[in-house]
Chains A and B, each alone.
Chain A
Amino acid sequence: MSEVRITGVGLHPFGRFGELTGTAMGVTAVRAALSEAGLAAGDVQAAFCGTAYGGVASGHRVLSALAGTGIPIYDVEAGCASGGAALQLGAASIASGQYDRVLVFGVEKMPKGIIRSSFFAPWQEAAGLSPAPAFFALRAQRLLADTGLTADHLAQVVVKNRRHGIANPDAMFRKAVTAEEVLASRMICPPLTLFMLCSPNEGAAAVVLERSRDGVHLAGISLRSHLPGSVLGEDSPLCGIDDTSIDPPTRLAARDAYAQAGLGPDDLDVVECQDTDAARELLAWAELGLCPDGGQADVLARGDAEVGGRLPVNPSGGLLSKGEPLGASALGQVVELVRQLRGTAGDRQVDGARVGLAHVIGRGANACVTVLTT
């Protein structure tokens, strides 16, 4: 990955935008990224579009609107990791020597509420065995039982990310919440309350990758799926065996990405991680090696993960503030980290950030971990 650099980034804010199409949001993000890189759509040699719900030829629609077709255009679906999968393919196409300059973007426009997914058989939905928040809640229950963490700790994650989100003009929620408000919000699936869950929404993000000496270095990126066995895996199986020695996909992807970059958790200055729910962020801290298993309470108590702390996590406000447009969320993290590493993140700037890590995990149990350096 030594020559793969990010030379332009662009974002359409995450939120709800009425009749505005996913294609229109994609066009906004892509134009911004191309502009930063000093390129036109016709200058890139391939395009990779992450989307889960965009439908047939989502990427083509965006490039058609920009008169940028004629190149290979790949739509990539990997659940919440769709944008990460697109980025991994785009980076590999440059690292392999196939291309010198590619566009990677993600678009999504999702309905409110619990996401309906073609992932489950109709009988499983009818039996009530498909709700994503319930599986999030069961993972959260296990985390609390294994570590002694409590619902108060989950609330502290929400308070942190929502506070960070105030400084992000591209976030959907830009209002601080208190732990009391988080705990008192509507109970969805114990221990998870409404404020502990992110909102599926709409948005787009784009990056230009080039074989170059300029730009932010894509030092490592790995997409991994789950190993068989855990009933709590994001692949949502109906059964599982003892999983105490089965590494979750985030650990697998992190190990790969750290090795590619020649870096480890101690080298990181800033992290954007999957916070579909508050417990998911706390699990990610341990899976990414940011703290030992069970060490999350100490991190929270010290304020380490706050902007201004030892290793800020989700300075963008995370998905809890931004919402989660699946295909765009991973690239939204990358856009945030590029701005952090450039020192242009405004009021949420992490001082002196030189190494950043982005992490997503989701349906199908695909995890993507990306390491960026200045």
Chain B
Amino acid sequence: MSPRPIDPSVLRVDDDGVTLLGGWSPSSGLRHFPASPVCPFTGADDIEPLDLPRSGTVWLHTTVTVAPPGYLGPVPYGLGIVELDGDPMLRVVSRLSGDGLARGAPVHLEGEELPGPDEEPSVTWVFRT
């Protein structure tokens, strides 16, 4: 797998696989993704970097059957929202893959190689059942 993340501010690719780079604000007690200088929910700026959990459950899912503009990967592909493990609740938008996609299905994080914005190989993230 190419080690190049599709965006280095969003995910890290190393020997452990892919890691989603989130943030955490102690004052608001909320996690967010991707990491931002300011909590996107409260405006708090006491942000600490946080590697997000690699597991969660499916909340909502659909399938993209038509390649959207700027996307050079295969279709169809799964797209949805995952509730990551841990508290408080954090929902993230993600590609989804695997059998048995349904609300509440447990999923785990993996890397997926796709053409990047420059059409060269890059790694993005997918949650798989």
A residues contacting B by CB (< 8 A) are 113-116, 120-134, 137-138, 141-142, 145, 186-191, 228-229, 231-232, 237-242
B100 interface residue per 8 A CB criterion? no
A interface secondary structure, majority:
loop
Given contacts A114-B69, A128-B71, A141-B61, contact A240 B91 (CB under 8 A): yes
Give the top 9 A-B pairs by smallest Cβ distance, nearest first.
A125-B70, A122-B117, A131-B68, A116-B69, A123-B7, A137-B62, A239-B33, A127-B124, A231-B91
- Cβ–Cβ contact B60 & A142, under 8 A: yes
Residue in contact with A190 in the complex, picked from B63, B90, B115, CB distance below 8 Å: B63
Please classify how large the interface on chain B is, using the bins under 10, 10 to 19, 20 to 34, 35 or more: 35 or more
Residues of B within 8 Å of A188, CB to CB, are 65-66
Interface mask (B6-37 → A, CB under 8 Å = 1, otherwise 0)? 11001000000000001000000010111000
The A-contacting residues of B in range 62-94, CB under 8 angstroms, are 62-66, 68-73, 77, 79-81, 88-94
B95 interface residue per 8 A CB criterion? yes
Query: Can you list 9 A-B contacts with CB-CB less than 8 angstroms, sorted by A residue number?
Result: A123-B117, A126-B117, A127-B71, A128-B79, A145-B60, A187-B65, A232-B60, A238-B34, A239-B40
Chain A: CB-nearest residue to B124? A127
The distance in angstroms between the C-alpha atoms of A134 and B117, with both chains bound, is 20
B114 interface residue per 8 A CB criterion? yes
Residues of B within 8 Å of A134, CB to CB, are 62, 64, 68, 79
B residues contacting A by CB (< 8 A) are 6-7, 10, 22, 30, 32-34, 40-42, 60-66, 68-73, 77, 79-81, 88-95, 103, 114-117, 122, 124
The distance in angstroms between the C-alpha atoms of A296 and B92, with both chains bound, is 29
B40, B42, B69, B94: which has the most chain A beta carbons within 10 Å?
B69
- Cβ–Cβ contact B6 & A123, under 8 A: yes
- Cβ–Cβ contact A228 & B40, under 8 A: yes
Residues of B within 8 Å of A123, CB to CB, are 6-7, 10, 116-117
